[in-house]
Amino acid sequence: MNPAALITGASRGIGRGIALELASLGWDVVINYVSNEPAARRTAADCHAAAQAAGKCIRAEICAADVSQGPDRLRLIEFTRAAFGRLDLLVNNAGVAPRVRADLLETTEESLDHLLQVNLKGPFFLTQLAARWMIQQSRQAGGAGGVRPKIVTISSVSAYTASVNRGEYCLSKAALSMLTLLYASRLAEYGINVYEIRPGIIATDMTGPVKEKYDQLIENGLTPLPRWGTPEDVGKAVGAIARDLLPFSTGEVINVDGGFHIRRL
């Protein structure tokens, strides 16, 4: 039996990169999406191809659900239970940027509420549901092939980098850092390790509108590694966690940012 992963927001971008990496490692995956079913189906097909190329046989299922909504979160967990009967890895990846990049003095309550609902409330309560199930599993037959359950939350360098034209986004990502610490502390007794991955400037649809700006910043030395990050870069970090290469680490932050976090003079 393959271990099973649930990846939110996995039809494209970083979530897609994570799904492809896990599939290549022989994981069954649930590809969560909100509305773009064709993209989700393409990702599922590509997961099968990636697994086949690696000599693996996996299942990739798609499930439409909005993690900001309680009934959808429950349905996503129940879908995973029906599809695979187990959950060995939750990846909280789904997130949104502000609809309008507004100056901090012009930010609206509506925008803040929307981002906190999707980027924070969704992962918080989905993690709660997943953790309860993982605890049940730990009390029963144990992980698939000895795999210990894990939870990964994808945050951002915006967790600690102030951007005054999208302050609500920064707040939501900073809160995810505490979410990781809280759940790492609470779940350690059950052998469930919890991690935060902080991507930097990653080439996705979300960063497309500011590509020229970041091209220039990277060229001028913003990051020690002078290139854009890719969804595959983030996928490899999640893959290392999935392979249990960090067994004595929990509550840990893994930077996937080209060295952006290094303070340099």
Query: Does the annotation mark 169 as catalytic?
Result: yes
Q: Which residues are 253's β-sheet partners? A: 196
Q: Are 200 and 228 in contact (CB under 8 A)?
A: no
- Phi and psi, residue 81, nearest 5°: -65, -45
DSSP-assigned letter for residue 121: I
- CA-to-CA distance for 207 and 212, rounded, in angstroms? 10
Residue 209: Cβ within 10 Å count: 10
Q: 89-92 and 4-7: which strand pairing?
A: parallel
Rounded to whole angstroms, the Cα distance separating 219 from 226 reads 7
- The residue written with tokens 């080209």 in the block is 258
Q: b/e for 173-183, b at 16 or more Cβ within 10 A?
A: bbbbbebbeeb
DSSP 207-241: TGGGHHHHHHHHHTTSSSS-S-B-HHHHHHHHHHH
| Stated length of the chain | 265
Which of 33, 169, 183, 195 is the catalytic position? 169
Residues forming the active site = 169
